[in-house]
């Protein structure tokens, strides 16, 4: 009689390792195999030529299109104009100020987003109150005694970030107020907030920007002159706060009524209970939603092109019309698209990770 | 007395609301007053009289009759119809593409699922405006001139001026055939309803019903075509001088906007479809299979009806986004409502307030109508819980 356990035999070769995985996930049935082979053939047709064009045969430096003598992509268009794409028409001697702005942004965002670093409340206060003020002072310069740089000299990635940052920071508090107003028991306040939110959510951003750039100067006395960038910001904030309000309202609805009732039984007033108990919980719930609206806003900043501001996309677009670089459209759009994609994809990965936790 | 009133929540609420109304009225009055003075200084009259003045500019694509002598009011209609056209085309293409990719995303084929999610992650993270520019300037803008058109079967021509396609000519006989086609569809729908009723009451399906319905749809138009002796004629695009004439021409502006809108929105629709299908719990499928339903019936009778309940509200939202995003047309010069009316007409007349208000009102009406319909739909399909 057998005294020992018979050792387990290895599974058959075709059901383990790479082979087993491929059998299960790529060639499970004849029709699946057909699909897989067709897709592989499609990738074979597309990827090697693209790689050849974009990397192997590409020219990387040069000062005009005629310097690109190879068959492939002419990345010289991007490398020659990289400074302009990032800083716009900001004076060369003052570019350190823009870099300082980028650095501030990176430090505060890193502080907020990396869970291991302590002091999130401090970071939030700095991000919401200090950062916008210092950034504006550094970038405009005149109040700090630096050489003033007018906003029409700003451009490129810097304007994209400025618009997205200020649009976000200003729309957050307005959105919270609107969300509270829409859930208020006072009928006038509720109607007013609902009408405001539905009005801006119902129209395209482009009409809002047109309105901000054409009609805003009509709405105020002639002595008050807004510059173009500020007008665009006002339009973006009006629009964005409506979307923000709906996100925050989602969070408010998820907080059980017992929380407010507990506050009332402790003798807290409306603002106390909202600010100290309900909002902190509600906002924490909707951080992924807030990040998603921020992604949408970040993409939407490219629309300021139609009112003549130079964000990243429109400065690339302007560069393409330069007679020296005619025919560089594909390279220019691939570069701009990649930069936008990097920011948006990064943020959406972050928000998905938050949702999982 | 005042202190007591202040401590009374009812009075306090009234006080705040009165304050809010006064504040809003004051701001609005201030804005109106400023606007009127500013307009007066610039010598711009107010009111909607400009709508009946002659426009004096041409539009490259008009769905209704239009020429330069017609009024600014007519440009509003032309722009609106162009917006509706590109939105309609975009919605159809985006839905088909979005559903295909959403289903592919859940495929058991690893490669297909990966490619679908790559598509989603690429296209929803790049600004729509950039995608429109890419199609317009980098793809359609570098096509050859009409004389060197890319030629498909001598019928479809691709060149920098657009895409030329053959277009059917409807003579009187053909018109009757088209009407017969519509009538046969209505008839077939009626027959389908009758046999659904039959199955519900008798518990078994009518035999050969699919054949009957198919023969009605195909047979009736064919029969009328034979009786009226109508032939379908195609108007072919022909190269005359430097450009094609005849047939249907899809302008590059329309094509670029259509592709970009559909491809961008399809990425979002695919996510909506995926989450809808995933929302149907596994137990439902297993229970249906245990009752002996074949996989296809499980999908059509159990999974899809429940998934649609989850899919349709966010799907409608995506359609609304597509309609609103079609306003980006103005950046490449497709003559939509914003480009024609809030662009050219505004610049020619200077009536900023009226023009922008009318433009916004159009989008607002579309949005609010759709959301009212959506609420009705939600009430209709919502689960009745005990």
CATH number, position A256: 1.10.3720.10
> Is A259 within a domain?
yes
A217 chain-B contacts, CB cut-off 8 A: 38
Give chain A's mean pLDDT: 87
Q: What angle do CA B37, B39, B40 make, to 5 degrees?
A: 65
Give the model's pLDDT for residue A243: 93
Instruction: Quote the pLDDT of residue B135.
Output: 92
Stretch among A30-39, B38-47, B266-275, B325-334 having the lowest mean pLDDT: B38-47
Instruction: Count how many pairs of residues, chain A against chain B, have C-beta atoms within 8 Å.
Output: 147
Contact B327 A207 (CB under 8 A): yes
- pLDDT recorded at residue A16: 75
A309: Cβ contacts below 8 Å, ≥ 6 apart:
A159, A228, A229, A232
pLDDT surpassing 80 at residue B239: no
Average pLDDT of the segment spanning A312-323? 88
Question: In a mutagenesis test of the B interface, which of A193, A202, A222, A316 is the best target, namely the one with the most B β-carbons within 10 Å?
Answer: A202
B 90-119 → A contacts, CB under 8 A: 108-112, 115
Judged against a pLDDT cut of 70, whether residue B173 lies above it is answered with no
Res. B13 pLDDT band, cuts 50 70 90: confident
The pLDDT score that the predictor gives to residue A19 is: 82
Give the model's pLDDT for residue A235. 92
Q: Average pLDDT for residues B104-126, to the nearest whole number?
A: 91
Residue B27, CB half-sphere, CA atoms under 13 Å: how many?
Answer: 5
Residue A337 covered by a domain: yes
Judged by CB atoms closer than 8 Å, whether chains meet at A340 and B31 is answered as: no
Torsion-angle region of B114 (φ positive above 0: left; ψ -120 to 50: alpha; else: beta): alpha
A109 assigned to some structural domain = no
Query: Region A169-183: what's the mean pLDDT?
Result: 92
Please, where are the H alpha helices in chain A?
17-25, 30-51, 76-87, 95-113, 120-125, 131-140, 157-182, 187-201, 205-210, 216-219, 228-254, 257-265, 270-273, 279-285, 287-300, 312-320, 329-356
In a domain, A352, yes or no: yes
A237 assigned to some structural domain: yes
Contact A320 B137 (CB under 8 A): yes
In chain A, which among 86-125 make CB contacts under 8 A with chain B?
Answer: none
- Does the residue A15 lie in any domain? no
Whether B385 has a pLDDT exceeding 70, the answer reads no
Instruction: Using the predicted structure, report yes or no on whether residue B230 has a pLDDT greater than 70.
Output: no
Distance from CA of A75 to the nearest CA of B (A): 15
Question: In this prediction, what percent of chain B has a pLDDT beyond 90?
Answer: 30
Nearest to B85 by CA among B218, B254, B299: B254
Q: Which residues of A touch B130 (CB under 8 A)?
A: 302, 313, 333, 336-337, 340
pLDDT at B46 over 80: no
Q: Pick from A15, A325, A309: which is nearest to A162 by CA?
A: A309
CB-closest option in B17, B38, B142 to A189: B17
Option in A211, A219, A329 nearest B34 (CB): A219
ipTM score assigned to the predicted complex = 0.89
The pLDDT of residue B73 is: 84
Among A residues 147-186, those touching chain B with beta carbons less than 8 Å apart: 185-186
B139-166 pLDDT, tens digit per residue, is: 888 887 777 777 777 778 888 788 888 8
Residue B67 pLDDT > 70: yes
Is 80 exceeded by the pLDDT of residue B324?
yes
Which residues in chain B touch residue A239, judged by CB atoms under 8 angstroms apart?
A: none
Is it the case that residue B244 has pLDDT exceeding 80? no
Range of the domain at A217: 76-90+149-356
- pLDDT (0 to 100) of residue B157: 81
A192/B130 Cβ within 8 A:
no
Out of B110, B125, B338, the one facing A344 most closely (by C-beta) is B125
How confident is the model over A85-131, as pLDDT tens digits?
Answer: 888 888 888 888 888 888 988 888 888 888 788 888 888 888 888 88
> Is A28's Cβ below 8 Å from some Cβ in B?
yes
* Eight-class DSSP state of A304: G
Task: Give CA–CA dist A96/A94, Å, rounded.
Answer: 5
* pLDDT computed for residue A226 by the predictor: 81
Contact B34, A219 (CB under 8 A): yes
Chain B positions in Cβ-Cβ contact with residue A303 (cut-off 8 Å): 129, 328
Structural domain includes residue A257: yes
- pLDDT of A40 reads 92
**pLDDT for res B187:** 85
Which of A21, A234, A337, A339 has the highest number of chain B CBs within 10 A, making it the mutation to test binding with B? A337
Burial of B84 (0-12, 13-18, 19+ CB in 10 A): middle
Q: What is the CA radius of gyration of chain A?
A: 27
Give pLDDT tens digits for A226-236: 888 889 999 99
Confidence of residue B261 (pLDDT cuts 50, 70, 90): very high
Report pLDDT for B383.
Answer: 64
Given CB atoms, is B360 within the 8 Å cutoff of chain A? yes
The tokens for B122 are 């690429």
In a domain, A68, yes or no: no
pLDDT, tens digit, for every residue of A127-147?
Answer: 888 888 888 888 888 777 788
Distance in Å, alpha carbon of A226 to nearest chain B alpha carbon: 15
Average pLDDT over chain B reads 85
Q: Collect all residues with Cβ–Cβ distance below 8 Å to B313 and sequence separation of at least 6.
A: B374, B377, B378
Task: Please give, rounded to a whole number of angstroms, the shortest distance from the CA of A305 to a CA of chain B.
Answer: 8
Q: How far is A131 from chain B (nearest CA, A)?
A: 26
Lowest mean pLDDT among A233-247, A310-324, B159-173: B159-173
Confidence at A248, pLDDT banded by 50, 70, 90: very high
Test A341 with B356 for CB contact under 8 angstroms: no
| Range scoring the smallest mean pLDDT among A100-114, B76-90, B251-265 | A100-114
Q: How confident is the model at residue B217 (pLDDT cuts 50, 70, 90)?
A: confident
pLDDT at A109: 86
Flag if A348 and B125 touch (Cβ within 8 Å): yes
Confidence class for position A177, pLDDT limits 50, 70, 90: very high
Alpha helices by DSSP H, listed for chain B, are: 2-7, 9-42, 72-105, 110-123, 128-133, 172-202, 209-228, 252-278, 282-290, 295-297, 304-325, 337-339, 346-349, 352-381
* pLDDT for residue B386 is more than 60: no
Whether the per-residue pLDDT at B63 is higher than 60: the answer is yes
At B172 the pLDDT is 65
Q: What is the pLDDT of residue B384?
A: 60
Residues of A in contact with B368 (CB under 8 A): 198, 202
**From the list A198, A218, A333, which residue is nearest B138 (CB)?**
A333
Q: What angle do CA B3, B7, B9 make, to 5 degrees?
A: 145
Q: Summarize pLDDT for A27-66 with one digit per residue, the tens.
A: 878 888 898 899 999 999 999 989 988 888 888 887 777 7
At residue B256, does pLDDT exceed 90? yes
Residues of A in contact with B112 (CB under 8 A): 35-36, 39
For chain A, what is the domain count? 1
At A185-232, the pLDDT tens digits run 888 999 999 999 999 999 999 999 988 888 888 888 877 778 888 899
pLDDT category at A321 given cuts 50, 70, 90 is confident
Residues of chain A numbered 30-89 and touching chain B (CB < 8 Å): 32, 35-36, 39-40
Say whether pLDDT at B360 is over 70: yes
Which has more confidence, A149 or B362? B362
Tell me, yes or no, if B356 comes closer than 8 A to chain A by beta carbon.
Answer: yes
Contact residues, B window 259-298, toward A, CB-based 8 Å cutoff: none
Which of A38, A159, A206 to mutate: most B Cβ within 10 Å? A206
């Amino acid at each position: 009689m057998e005294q020992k356990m018979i050792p387990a035999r290895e599974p058959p070769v075709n059901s383990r390792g790479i082979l087993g995985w491929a059998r299960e996930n790529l060639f499970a049935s004849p029709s699946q195999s057909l699909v897989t082979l067709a897709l592989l053939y499609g990738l074979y047709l597309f990827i090697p030529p693209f790689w050849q064009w974009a990397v192997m045969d590409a020219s990387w430096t040069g000062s005009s299109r005629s310097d690109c003598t190879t068959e492939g992509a002419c990345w010289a268009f991007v490398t020659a104009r990289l400074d302009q794409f990032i800083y716009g028409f900001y004076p060369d001697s003052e570019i350190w100020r823009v870099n300082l702005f980028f650095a501030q942004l990176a430090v505060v965002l890193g502080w907020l987003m990396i869970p291991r670093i302590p002091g999130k409340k401090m970071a939030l206060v700095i991000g919401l109150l200090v950062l916008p003020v210092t950034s504006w002072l550094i970038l405009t310069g005149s109040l700090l005694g630096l050489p003033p740089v007018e906003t029409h000299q700003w451009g490129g990635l810097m304007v994209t970030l400025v618009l997205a940052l200020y649009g976000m920071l200003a729309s957050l508090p307005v959105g919270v107020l609107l969300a509270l107003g829409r859930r208020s028991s006072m009928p006038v306040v509720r109607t007013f907030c609902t009408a405001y939110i539905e009005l801006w959510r119902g129209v395209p951003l482009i009409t809002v920007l047109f309105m901000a750039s054409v009609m805003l100067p009509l709405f105020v006395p002639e002595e008050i002159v807004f510059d173009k960038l500020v007008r665009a910001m006002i339009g973006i904030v009006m629009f964005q706060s409506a979307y923000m309000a709906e996100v925050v309202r989602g969070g408010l609805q998820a907080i059980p009524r017992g929380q407010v009732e507990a506050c009332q039984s402790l003798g807290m007033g409306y603002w106390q209970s909202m600010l100290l108990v309900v909002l902190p919980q509600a906002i924490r719930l909707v951080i992924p939603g807030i990040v998603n609206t921020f992604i949408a806003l970040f993409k939407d900043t490219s629309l300021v092109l139609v009112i003549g501001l130079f964000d990243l996309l429109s400065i690339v677009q302007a560069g393409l019309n330069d007679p020296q670089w005619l025919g560089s459209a594909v390279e220019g759009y691939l570069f701009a698209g990649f930069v936008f994609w990097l920011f948006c994809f990064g943020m959406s990965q972050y928000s998905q990770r938050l949702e999982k936790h | 007395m005042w202190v007591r009133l202040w401590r009374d929540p009812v009075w306090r609420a009234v006080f705040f609301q009165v304050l809010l109304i006064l504040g809003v009225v004051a701001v609005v009055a201030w804005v109106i007053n400023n606007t009127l003075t500013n307009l007066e200084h610039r010598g711009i009259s107010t009111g909607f009289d400009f709508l009946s003045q002659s426009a004096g500019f041409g539009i490259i694509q008009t769905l209704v009759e239009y020429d330069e002598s017609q009024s600014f009011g007519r440009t509003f209609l032309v722009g609106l119809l162009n917006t509706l056209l590109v939105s309609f085309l975009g919605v159809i293409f985006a839905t088909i593409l979005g559903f295909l990719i959403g289903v592919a995303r859940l495929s058991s084929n690893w490669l297909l699922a990966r490619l679908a999610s790559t598509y989603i992650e690429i296209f929803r993270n790049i600004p729509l405006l950039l995608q429109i520019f890419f199609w317009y300037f980098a793809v359609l803008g570098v096509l050859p001139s009409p004389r060197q058109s890319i030629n498909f079967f001598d019928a479809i021509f691709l060149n920098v001026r657009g895409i030329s396609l053959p277009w059917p000519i409807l003579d009187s006989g053909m018109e009757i055939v088209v009407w017969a086609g519509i009538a046969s569809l209505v008839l077939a729908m009626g027959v389908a309803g009758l046999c659904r009723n039959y199955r519900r009451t008798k518990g078994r399906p009518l035999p050969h019903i699919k054949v009957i319905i198919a023969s009605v749809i195909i047979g009736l138009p064919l029969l009328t075509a034979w009786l009226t002796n109508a032939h379908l004629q195609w108007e072919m695009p022909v190269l005359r001088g430097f450009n094609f004439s005849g047939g249907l021409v899809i302008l590059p502006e329309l094509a670029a906007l259509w592709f970009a809108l559909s491809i961008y929105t399809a990425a979002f629709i695919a996510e909506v479809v995926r989450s809808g299908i995933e929302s149907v719990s596994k137990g439902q499928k297993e229970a249906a299979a245990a009752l002996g339903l074949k996989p296809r019936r499980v999908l059509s009778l159990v999974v899809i009806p429940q998934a649609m309940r989850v899919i349709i509200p966010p799907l409608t939202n995506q359609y609304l986004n597509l309609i609103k995003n079609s306003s980006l047309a103005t950046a490449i010069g497709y003559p939509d409502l914003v480009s024609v009316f809030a662009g050219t007409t505004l610049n020619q007349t200077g009536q900023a307030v009226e023009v922008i208000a009318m433009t916004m009102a159009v989008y607002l009406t579309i949005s609010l109508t759709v959301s009212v319909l959506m609420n009705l739909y939600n009430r209709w399909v919502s689960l009745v819980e005990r």
